């Protein structure tokens, strides 16, 4: 009995309160989208708002169980949960049901679950358990490798479903590694790769290689510590390129401009390596290596983008980058979404008064585009309020994570807040046209049982861990 009281006293009610606000606000908006004055009774499971209400109640029951279970159980269950998660992701390949051409659902009678949602909880538990282990240092290559494997193995399985949206979510767990000491340059490399990825989509291969070569010459100048070497490098590059152009011109060779550029890069790199040997400057090797790797990477990305992504996903990225514009085609969703949010004005059209979402101009308006209804019916006040609520929850979670005495709890906390943050950023970013349309839900607000259960379990396991932060040092 005493233990029960302790738990209740140590629960962070502010977080619980923020959670309840978000869930309630989400339900109100799902109700607004699906409300039909002519429809039959409220308590009809065909109504999405009734279904969502049922799921909210069930997830609250789940919350009670989470509180009853001893918090040490979650440490113990981390690896088995991970294994079970992987198993589910494999099972999906066998008995999964395809929705929107991605095989990501398991249908069990009346219930369908999305393993990718639950796998997130398992992955956070596993990475927390691994990183909190003895002798694990995230600065060591082996530990970095294992951590990345824990994260990206299930992500890879999800990518094969294929569900690119859920796959990308796992990338955000790098933020957890960063907090635990992952060297900053790893993050920078990863961000650079992401930047290069976008660059490849927007610019031509030729231009990319040209820009990379320019950057390499600048880097070479810096590491060789002699301003004159800049002119030397430029002179050599131009001479080589000119030689190729002349040979081409007089018919000795028949190469296109891009091949000439690559050949020039190759020869100039060889000269740079010789220079490095002579000058005994090892950093120059790194510059050359980085350049060659970057060029190789552009090939890989180009290949992946054109062969691995589905056409509709490619189109979404292209729309976001402004490469394709077609108001009734791929850009349609984003345009309609912006119209709905923009039409809300400062104070909104009022509850149930939204026309854009109600009449289905916005696609997926109960699930991924629920924020449109918020924007349209509650206006700037409502959508700003929601942003504040979310940022407040995330900051509160940082505070909670940082006050943990156990590494496991802290890492788990960061895992939860990273995932929530990523969903929040991507989902709202896409509805207001800042990011490409990636079909991931807005946690606690979007319609759907699997995501609500997964996020609720994720969050409340952390609240449970936090409630015993003084009792155990797990």
Tell the smallest beta-carbon distance from residue 8 to another protein (Å): 28
Q: Is the CB of residue 173 less than 8 Å from the CB of residue 124?
A: yes
Separation of alpha carbons 127 and 82, rounded Å: 9
Q: Please give the C-alpha separations between residue 313 and each of 155, 159, 262, 318, 319, in angstroms, as whole numbers.
A: 17, 13, 30, 9, 10
* Residue 270 CB burial class (10 angstroms; 0-12, 13-18, ≥19): exposed
CB of 348 to another protein, least distance (A): 9
Here the tokens at position 337 are 């979404």
Minimum Å distance from CB 93 to another protein? 34
Q: Considering beta carbons, is residue 35 or 285 the nearer one to another protein? A: 35
Can you read off the two tokens belonging to residue 284? Answer: 């120059």
The minimum distance between CB 395 and another protein, in angstroms, equals 6
Of 40 and 228, the one with the shorter C-beta distance to another protein is 40
Which residues does 378 contact at the CB level (< 8 Å), separation at least 6? 344, 348, 385, 386
Closest C-alpha to 171, from 120, 212, 234: 120
- Alpha-helical regions (H) of 308-361: 311-320, 332-342
Q: Phi, psi at residue 163, to the nearest 5°?
A: -135, 85
3-state class (DSSP) for residue 97? strand
- Min separation Cβ 357 and another protein, Å: 10
- The residue (of 51 and 176) whose beta carbon lies closer to another protein is 176
Q: Closest distance between another protein and the C-beta of residue 452, in Å?
A: 22
Q: Is 39 exposed, middle or buried (0-12, 13-18, 19+ CB in 10 A)?
A: exposed
Q: Which is nearer to another protein, 51 or 174 (CB)?
A: 174
Query: What is the smallest separation between the CB atom of 75 and another protein, expressed in angstroms?
Result: 18
Rounded Cα gap, residues 153 and 411, in angstroms: 19
Helix residue spans in 136-227 (DSSP H): 141-160, 164-171, 174-179, 184-202, 205-224
End-to-end CA separation in angstroms for the chain: 23
Q: Which is nearer to another protein, 119 or 138 (CB)?
A: 138
Give φ, ψ of 112 to 5 degrees. Answer: -120, 135
CB 64 within 8 A of CB 108: no
Supply the minimum distance, in Å, between the C-beta of residue 34 and another protein: 13
Q: Is 464 within 8 Å of 74 (Cβ atoms)?
A: yes
Smallest distance, Å, CB 78 to another protein?
A: 19
Q: How far is the CB of 398 from another protein (least distance, A)?
A: 5
| Tokens matching residue 270 | 């060889």
- Decide whether 132 or 213 has the Cβ nearer to another protein: 132
- Where do runs of H (alpha helix) occur along 308-439? 311-320, 332-342, 370-402, 407-431
Cβ 38 to another protein, closest distance in Å? 10
Cis peptide before 456 (omega within 30 of 0): no
Pairing of strands 102-108, 97-99: antiparallel
> Closest CB to another protein among 162 and 363?
363
What is the closest distance, in whole angstroms, from the C-beta atom of residue 279 to another protein in the complex? 36
171 or 181: CB nearest another protein: 181
On whether the CB atoms of residues 367 and 361 are closer than 8 A, the answer is no
Give the nearer residue to another protein in terms of CB position, either 202 or 388.
388
Under 8 Å CB-to-CB from 458, ≥6 apart: which residues? 120, 121, 124, 416, 419, 420
Residues of the shown chain interacting with another protein in the complex, contacts defined by CB under 8 A: 175, 178-181, 328, 336, 338-346, 355-356, 359-361, 375-376, 379-380, 383-384, 387-388, 390-391, 394-395, 398, 401-402, 407, 414, 421, 424-425, 428-429, 432, 434
Residue 156 or 183: the one with the smaller Cβ distance to another protein is: 183
Residue located via tokens 């209740």: 8
C-beta of 69 vs 191, nearer to another protein: 191
Which CB sits closer to another protein, 72 or 407? 407
């Amino acid at each position: 009995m005493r233990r029960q009281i302790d738990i209740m006293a140590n629960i962070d009610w502010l977080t619980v309160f923020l959670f309840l606000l978000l869930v309630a606000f989400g339900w109100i908006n799902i109700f607004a989208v699906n409300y039909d004055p002519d429809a039959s009774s409220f308590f009809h499971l065909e109504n999405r708002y009734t279904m969502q209400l049922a799921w909210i109640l069930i997830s609250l029951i789940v919350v009670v169980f989470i509180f009853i279970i001893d918090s040490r159980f979650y440490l113990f269950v981390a690896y088995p949960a991970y294994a079970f998660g992987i198993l589910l992701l494999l099972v999906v390949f066998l008995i999964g049901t395809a929705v929107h051409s991605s095989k990501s659902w398991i249908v069990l009678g009346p219930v369908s679950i999305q393993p990718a949602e639950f796998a997130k909880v398992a992955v956070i538990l596993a990475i927390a358990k691994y990183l909190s282990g003895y002798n694990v240092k995230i600065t060591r290559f082996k530990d970095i490798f294992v951590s990345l494997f824990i994260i990206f193995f299930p992500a890879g399985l999800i990518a094969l479903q294929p569900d690119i949206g859920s796959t990308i979510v796992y990338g955000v767990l790098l933020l957890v590694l960063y907090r635990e000491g992952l060297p900053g340059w790893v993050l920078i490399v990863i961000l650079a790769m992401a930047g290069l990825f976008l660059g490849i989509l927007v610019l031509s291969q030729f231009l990319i290689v040209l820009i990379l070569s320019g950057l390499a010459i600048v880097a070479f100048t810096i590491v060789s510590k002699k301003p004159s070497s800049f002119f030397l490098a430029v002179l050599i590059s131009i001479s080589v390129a000119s030689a190729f152009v002349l040979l081409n011109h007089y018919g000795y060779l028949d190469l296109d401009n891009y091949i000439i550029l690559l050949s020039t890069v190759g020869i100039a790199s060889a000269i740079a390596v010789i220079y490095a040997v002579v000058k005994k400057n090892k950093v120059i090797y790194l510059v050359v290596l980085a350049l060659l790797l970057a060029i190789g990477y552009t090939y890989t990305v180009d290949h992946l983008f054109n062969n691995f992504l589905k056409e509709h996903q490619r189109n979404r990225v292209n729309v976001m980058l402004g490469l394709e514009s077609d108001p009734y085609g791929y850009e349609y969703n984003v345009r309609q979404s912006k119209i709905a949010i923009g039409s809300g004005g400062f104070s909104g059209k009022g509850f149930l008064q939204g026309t854009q979402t109600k009449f289905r101009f916005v696609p997926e308006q109960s699930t991924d585009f629920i924020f449109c209804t918020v924007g349209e019916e509650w206006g700037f006040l409502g959508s700003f309020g929601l942003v504040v609520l979310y940022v407040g929850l995330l900051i509160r979670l940082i505070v909670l994570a940082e006050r943990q005495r156990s590494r496991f709890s802290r890492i788990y906390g960061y895992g939860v807040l990273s995932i929530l943050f990523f969903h929040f950023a991507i989902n709202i970013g896409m509805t207001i046209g800042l990011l490409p349309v990636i079909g991931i839900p807005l946690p606690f607000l979007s319609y759907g049982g699997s995501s609500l259960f997964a996020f609720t379990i994720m969050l409340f396991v952390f609240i449970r861990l936090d409630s015993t932060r003084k009792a155990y040092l797990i």
